[in-house]
Structure 1
Amino acid sequence: MTHLRWGVLGASNFARQHMAPAIHAARGAEFSALATSSAAKAEGFRDFAPGLRVHDSYEALLADVQVDAVYIPLPNHLHVAWTIKALEAGKHVLCEKPLGLKAADFEPVIAARDRTGLFCAEAFMITHHPQMRRARDLLKEGALGNLRHVNVTFSYYNDDLGNIRNQPDAGGGALPDIGVYACGAARFITGAEPREISYAGIEFQHGVDTTARIAGDFGDFTYGAIVSTRMAPRQEIVLHGDKGILRLSCPFNAGVFNQAELHLETSASSITVERFPAVNHYVLQVEAFGRSVLEGAEYPCSLEFSQGTQRMIDMIYAAGRA
């Protein structure tokens, strides 16, 4: 096999706007099949992939012998079940985040991955962006000295109760939707795990969390974050050491929210700016997935890593209840 033939399980707007075009554009990948019962939705995908095969059910796509890998953009509460079904159907799986709604949800998925010998990962695309990797490298190289504090902000405004992100039965909420980034980015850049969530002020509306203010302890450094789906759009990561400060101006929606930039300040008169204007981390994610399947290359975001992020979110919910 020289490339992966991909199927997409569901015609979500996100899949149409971002991930399906990324599969279509990625080296070593072919966007070959889509599962949707809506002919109108299928046309949006055929605009850039005219030879696309369209199946009218998820089961039919999983039975397609011309599909090697499946991307799953379904509502959060369906991720575990369909990931396992796809693995058992002999497909490699890239599932949209969050794969599980609690850390224990990852266990049957990991077991299915190991049992089938297939590749499976959560679609945490920021780990493939050079901005995020450069931040990790700068920290390892000692550019900040000793890291003392990490602060993360991620917010946007969405009060549409018809949107699945605001529906409790679909696994909605700010923490499942964007808390994954606030927690996972800190863990990825620092390589550290939280020892304690000392404070979590969580606001709920209509059964889902809409804003969380978080304070935590990673041992060598402290952590603070705000994630919200009821605040004006903002995203930023600040890593504060005893010798320098590193700011990531657009760490999560690079190229959409703004241009991805790193600002390294090591003194009042020394500020270095690195920009990443033309990087598509969705394409990089698909290409990295393909290299792992076809060549056995190391993948930066294993299921175990993603489970660790969900474990941190579980800690935040527990601190909020306390």
Structure 2
Amino acid sequence: MDVMNWGILGAANFARQHMGPAIHAARGARLAALATSSAEKAQHFINFAPDLKVHDSYDALLADPEIEAVYIPLPNTLHVEWTAKALAAGKHVLCEKPIAMQAEEIDTLIAARDASGKFATEAYMIVHHPQWQLARQWLDEGQIGELRHADVVFSFNNSDPENIRNKPETGGGSIPDIGVYAYSSVRYSARAEPRDLRAIIHRENAVDTFTQVTGAMENAKGAFTYSAITSTRLHPRQEVTFQGSDGLIRLSCPFNPNVFDQAEVTLIRAGKPDCVQRFPGVNHYVLQVESFVRHIREGAPYPWTLEDARGTQAMIDLVRASEI
């Protein structure tokens, strides 16, 4: 399989710490270029990718004929613009979440993807992790009987006013930053969509810092109640639980394995020993890049499309519209 040359638009900390190394470590991929005007920031990437080509602008990187795919870790409000530009430049695109600020914006990206003949998707890495694939399998198999309730908590404490997550002009807030996990994870694993939602939202500086969503979701098997809390002002916590008539599935480190804790998913049923599956050292960022490459090179199925991202953004839009 030919190696796919990747470029990154911007030297974001997340790209430096996670996605840059993941691209360079993934089979079939190579981090070949970076767009940044900061020599200091570029050096952090050169340390693990010595042959890195550094462009001084995003447009210059998109014009580089050696680059086949780009990863976009820019502020949320720039995702649609630069995804569209990258597609127009003939590049495949992996863009950070949320890929848009409203569901309708993703329609333009779907059209741009189809017109370009290139692949574009949102960097929703958890669907590549075996713990989530196992949770989905258990739910499909009915291992906990009838699914009756799902609840999610994802929080961390970040009050830095200079952080882009706390700035309205860059699309900050707990809903776009981590709501995509709290909402998408249940949509993906239970194959469900929201039916009725209510939201309590607390804000600082026009940015939501705490959101509690309650209501119902529904899949082909029926409806179940749903609860999700996201916050950027609480002590770090993350957990997802699916509770059924005959048991429950619990993920104790669902979103940041190897950072928050070790990935672990547990199946609990009355009268049976607990089934605990742990995944030490699995890097879902690397798996995401490898899946991306296989999809383009071999036509392998890819578990998260722009249409999937649109569904989550529609749910985010509904959460905001359901504030009480």
Is TM (by shorter chain) over 0.5? Answer: yes
Unaligned regions of 5+ residues in structure 1, if any?
none
CA deviation after TM superposition for structure 1 residue 255, in Å: 0.8
Q: How many residues align?
A: 320
Matched, 1:212 2:233: no
- CA-based RMSD of the aligned residues comes to 0.9
Question: What's the counterpart of residue 45 of structure 2?
Answer: 45
Distance 2:270 2:158 in 1: 39
> How far does the alpha carbon of each residue in 1:38-65 deviate from its partner, in whole angstroms, 9 at most, with x for none?
0000000000001100000000000000
CA deviation after TM superposition for structure 1 residue 155, in Å: 0.2
Question: What's the counterpart of residue 59 of structure 1?
Answer: 59
One-letter identity of the residue aligned with 2:216: D
Question: What's the counterpart of residue 84 of structure 2?
Answer: 84
Question: What's the counterpart of residue 289 of structure 1?
Answer: 292
> How far does the alpha carbon of each residue in 1:122-167 deviate from its partner, in whole angstroms, 9 at most, with x for none?
0000000000000000111111000000000000000001000000
TM-score by length of 1: 0.98
CA deviation after TM superposition for structure 1 residue 183, in Å: 0.2
CA deviation after TM superposition for structure 1 residue 2, in Å: 1.4
Question: What's the counterpart of residue 115 of structure 1?
Answer: 115
CA deviation after TM superposition for structure 1 residue 268, in Å: 6.0
> How far does the alpha carbon of each residue in 1:201-240 deviate from its partner, in whole angstroms, 9 at most, with x for none?
0001011001001102113211001000000000000000
One-letter identity of the residue aligned with 1:316: V
CA deviation after TM superposition for structure 1 residue 81, in Å: 0.2
Partner SS for 2:274: strand
Question: What's the counterpart of residue 264 of structure 1?
Answer: 267
Unaligned regions of 5+ residues in structure 2, if any?
none
Percent identical residues? 57
Tell me which stretches of 4 or more aligned residues in structure 1 moved more than 2 Å. none
Distance 1:94 1:17 in 2: 17
What is the correspondence of 1:40-189 to structure 2 with a 5 Å cutoff?
Answer: 40-189=40-189
CA deviation after TM superposition for structure 1 residue 267, in Å: 1.5
CA deviation after TM superposition for structure 1 residue 297, in Å: 1.2
One-letter identity of the residue aligned with 1:238: T
Distance 2:102 2:152 in 1: 21
One-letter identity of the residue aligned with 1:222: T
One-letter identity of the residue aligned with 1:217: A
What is the correspondence of 1:307-318 to structure 2 with a 5 Å cutoff?
Answer: 307-318=310-321
Is the Cα contact below 8 Å between 1:124 and 1:301 reproduced in 2? Answer: yes
CA deviation after TM superposition for structure 1 residue 3, in Å: 2.2
Partner SS for 1:270: coil
> How far does the alpha carbon of each residue in 1:250-279 deviate from its partner, in whole angstroms, 9 at most, with x for none?
000011100000111101662121100120
What is the correspondence of 1:235-246 to structure 2 with a 5 Å cutoff?
Answer: 235-246=238-249
**2:258 aligns with one of 255, 260, 270:** 255
Partner SS for 1:77: helix
TM-score by length of 2: 0.97
